[in-house]
Structure 1
Amino acid sequence: MTHALLPSGFHDRLPPDADAAARLERRVLDAAHAHGYERVDPPLAEFEDALAHRLKAARAQDAVRFVDPISQRTLAIRPDITAQVGRIAATRMGHHPRPLRLSYAGSVLRLRASELSPERERRQAGCELIGLDTIAAAQEVVTVAVEALEAAGVTGISIDFTLPDLLSTLAAGPLPLDGVSLDDLADRLDAKDAGAVAALAPSYLPMIEAAGPFETAHDRLCRFDVGGALRSRLDGLWKVAEAVKGRVALTLDPTERHGFEYQTWLGFSLFADGARGEIGRGGSYMIVHEDGSEETAIGFTLYIDAIVAAGLAHDERRRLFVPLGSDPALAAKLRGEGWVTVAALEAGDTPEAQLCTHILADGEVRTITT
């Protein structure tokens, strides 16, 4: 047995990835702060019941649980930070005027991972706007998400919109299911299984056909809008998309529900060129207060590790080697100009050993040629 092994789903973050992750989080939080989002920093673990029931329709099946030796109550390590922000908004900051704008960054832990995403311990950063889930609120949240990614140097951004409660809205109104399980139909729609949908509820097939580029998909959904039941939310979705139109690529998939279990009228996934899978997700949801009342909210979460793994947050490495005997004042001046200086501490030290790209020679910065 070796003491160097880590549990499955865990890994060390090494240079330059750890630096890139810290820089990414800082830029995301700075972009959010510029829009009025103030940071909160909830604890890594808290009482399980507080995490499990704070967001309406959310489940805590992904949480790692253990018994607190002090209180003898079950604690859960957070699998997501949104529920904790909801608790803070409903309790410690319940008196704060709405809308309440909060941001966060930290680690989360999942009980299990998937084959496509084997990491169990991950870093998240994001924003929550609490007290509103209006079109204006959605426009702001989507815009802040895009600006945060752009500030971090991410390019080729795309947004895939969905309408998480669309299926239940149709089933409860113009398109009743007549004995068909809503969950079964949702699973088949999510899998784009047209044959199974045709067997269960053929009137829902246009939802599969509607997925695609935003404007085309939106037009198809408008034609599918039975009795005008979806008109207001489709108009709202169009206005939300217009806030970032021309800035990012836009798609719409009305059948996408996986990962949007507690979202209400709006959900969206974030992607970027070069990244494998999603780099973030957001949407509208409901926070449950202590007295059972509910409060609307909308926000987004960025997946820091996915962005870093794709190399989307790495800056060009510029390290300046400062030989022995160099003027400390000059090195300090160069650091003030943005240089990373690496000072030689012994005679045998070299720029190559310190992974430097430049060297300070005769009072000047010179590029190291290879």
Structure 2
Amino acid sequence: MTDANPDILPAGLFDLLPPRAEHAARLTNSAMAVLSSHGYDRVAPPLIEYERSLALRMQGTGRQHLFRMVDPASMRTLAIRSDITVQVGRVATTLMASAARPLRLSYAGQVLRIAADQLNPERERLQIGAELIGHDNVAAAQEVLRIAIEALASAGVTGISVDLTLPDLVDTLADTTFPIDRQTIDTVRRELDMKDAGALAALGADAYLPLLYATGPFDAAIAALAAIDAGGALASRIEALRAIAADLPGDVAVTLDPTERHGFEYQSWFGFSLYADNCAGALGRGGTYAIPDGQGGHEVATGFSLYPDALLDLGEGDNRQPPANILFLPLGYDRAVAARLRAIGWRTVAAISEGDDAQALGCTHRLDGSEIVLL
């Protein structure tokens, strides 16, 4: 079958044109500057790795998202990354295994998924993140969450909100106060995600019903969670959540959904999602987790990933306007003068022919000798 237009891109893939491509670069640079200022050193893993390495480190989550191909050099199966976090884990536990802990690493790059989902139609996305490797305590969670919020704020994001969760909550209760058959745990998790009280009762999991009502604004939700008689099984987690929430900036709205699991398949005791006004879906997620070391052991870590592509559409109408201070340089312009102007912030566009139209090229000013003339 011949395509009607061979230049059409595959579903879920898009070109970034001006000014959105420039906006994406600014978002990346501002976020990475925040991470660097907090001592997170940048790493840049390759786009493609051996499929076996990526799949093993995904711990059974997300393998279905991997594009696979055969390497003609080694005849082994390769995969395009769908998540940079697992690559950073590989770097930390191999090439940087002897580095002092906590090890702070950051990254930014594109990831590719084999199929889109309903909430995220894009198959290629920008992922920016940081990993604090060697600790998963409250202090680590506080640092990582604060930095994630600061990185978004640096990109001009307002109305930031945080939703906290306890990814291993059902497992913890099933092993202690509210025992259920191990084969029933996944079903209980699913019904909690669906907020289906009737289905929980039908499963004989009535003890888990109060968790459905421990959601919403943090203060009320954490009080409802603390009121559940779990024989002390939740005490340390509740204390930790209160400490984390108390450490957040006052203008950040905090909610709690203790049984939320979507996007937290490999997190351990703590997870969070980040949202912002006028942005559909989560801008990022993070939490505590364990990094497999490839030898049957693991190392604890705390981190986050941001997916800021949605921010490119905020104020897009304004972004389509020509940037200020673009200076047209006519033929024969003084290069020394132009260099000095660029050094103080001007953006220049040089004429290539007599027919070049300064205004059509988006310029706001014209250089006339050493003088700047408004167009």
Amino acid in the other structure paired with 1:337: I
The aligned counterpart of 1:334 is 341
CA apart distance, 1:22: 1.1
Partner of 1:217: 221
Percent of residue pairs bearing the same amino acid type: 52
Q: Is the 8 A contact 2:367 2:373 kept in 1?
A: yes
2:287 aligned with 1:283, yes or no?
yes
The residue that corresponds to 1:295 in the other structure is 299
Identify the residue that residue 232 of structure 2 maps to in structure 1: 228
Structure 1 counterpart of 2:29, one-letter code: R
Aligned counterpart for 2:357 among listed residues 335, 350, 355: 350
How far apart, CA to CA, are the structure 2 residues paired with 1:355 and 1:306? 26
Q: Is the CA contact (8 Å cut-off) linking 2:28 and 2:108 kept in structure 1?
A: yes
Q: In structure 2, what is the Cα distance between the partners aligned to 1:11 and 1:329?
A: 40
Q: CA offset at residue 57 of structure 1?
A: 5.4
Q: How many residues align?
A: 367
Amino acid aligned to 1:216 = A
1-side partners of 2:118 and 2:14: how far apart?
16
1:248 corresponds to 2:252: yes
| Corresponding residue number in structure 1 for 2:164 | 161
> Partner of 1:191 in structure 2?
194
Q: Is the 8 A contact 1:123 1:304 kept in 2?
A: yes
Q: Secondary structure at the residue paired with 1:227? A: coil
Distance 1:132 1:215, change over 3 A: same
1:270 to 268, 274, 287: 274
Cα distance change of structure 1 residues 365 and 282 upon mapping to structure 2, 3 Å threshold = farther
Shift in Å at residue 339 of structure 1? 2.7
8 Å contact 1:27–1:148 — kept in the other structure?
A: yes
After superposition, give the CA deviation of every residue in 1:249-304 in whole Å (9 maximum; x if it has no partner). 11111121011100001111111111111111111110111321111001011113
Scaled by the length of structure 1, the TM-score of the pair is 0.92
Q: TM-score, normalised by structure 2?
A: 0.91
CA contact (8 A) 1:318 1:358 kept: no
Q: What is the alpha-carbon distance in structure 1 between the residues aligned to residue 265 and residue 181 of structure 2?
A: 23
User: Could you tell me which residue of structure 2 aligns to residue 21 of structure 1?
Assistant: 24
Name the amino acid aligned to 1:247: D
Question: 1:45 matched to which residue of 2?
Answer: 48
- Report the more deviating stretch, 250-259 or 58-67: 58-67
Cα deviation for residue 142 of structure 1 reads 0.6
Greater displacement, 316-325 / 261-270 = 316-325
SS at match of 1:265: strand
Deviations 1:46-95 (A, max 9, x none): 11221122254544121111222222222211110000000000101011
Cα distance in 1 between the residues matched to 2:365 and 2:281: 36
Q: SS at the partner of 1:300?
A: strand
- Residues 293-325 of structure 1: CA distance to partner in whole angstroms, max 9, x if unpaired? 111001011113222233489698324232426
- Which stretch of the first structure deviates more once superposed, 240-249 or 18-27? 240-249
| Structure 1: unaligned runs, 5 residues or longer | none
Task: Name the residue aligned to 1:363.
Answer: 371
Alignment of 1:66-215 (within 5 A): 66-178=69-181, 181-200=184-203, 201-215=205-219
Q: Is the 8 A contact 1:108 1:123 kept in 2?
A: yes
- Structure 2 unaligned spans of 5+: none
Q: Hey, what does 1:259 align to over in structure 2?
A: 263
Paired with 1:330 and 1:22, the residues of 2 have a C-alpha distance of 28
Contact 1:165 1:265 in 2 (8 A): yes
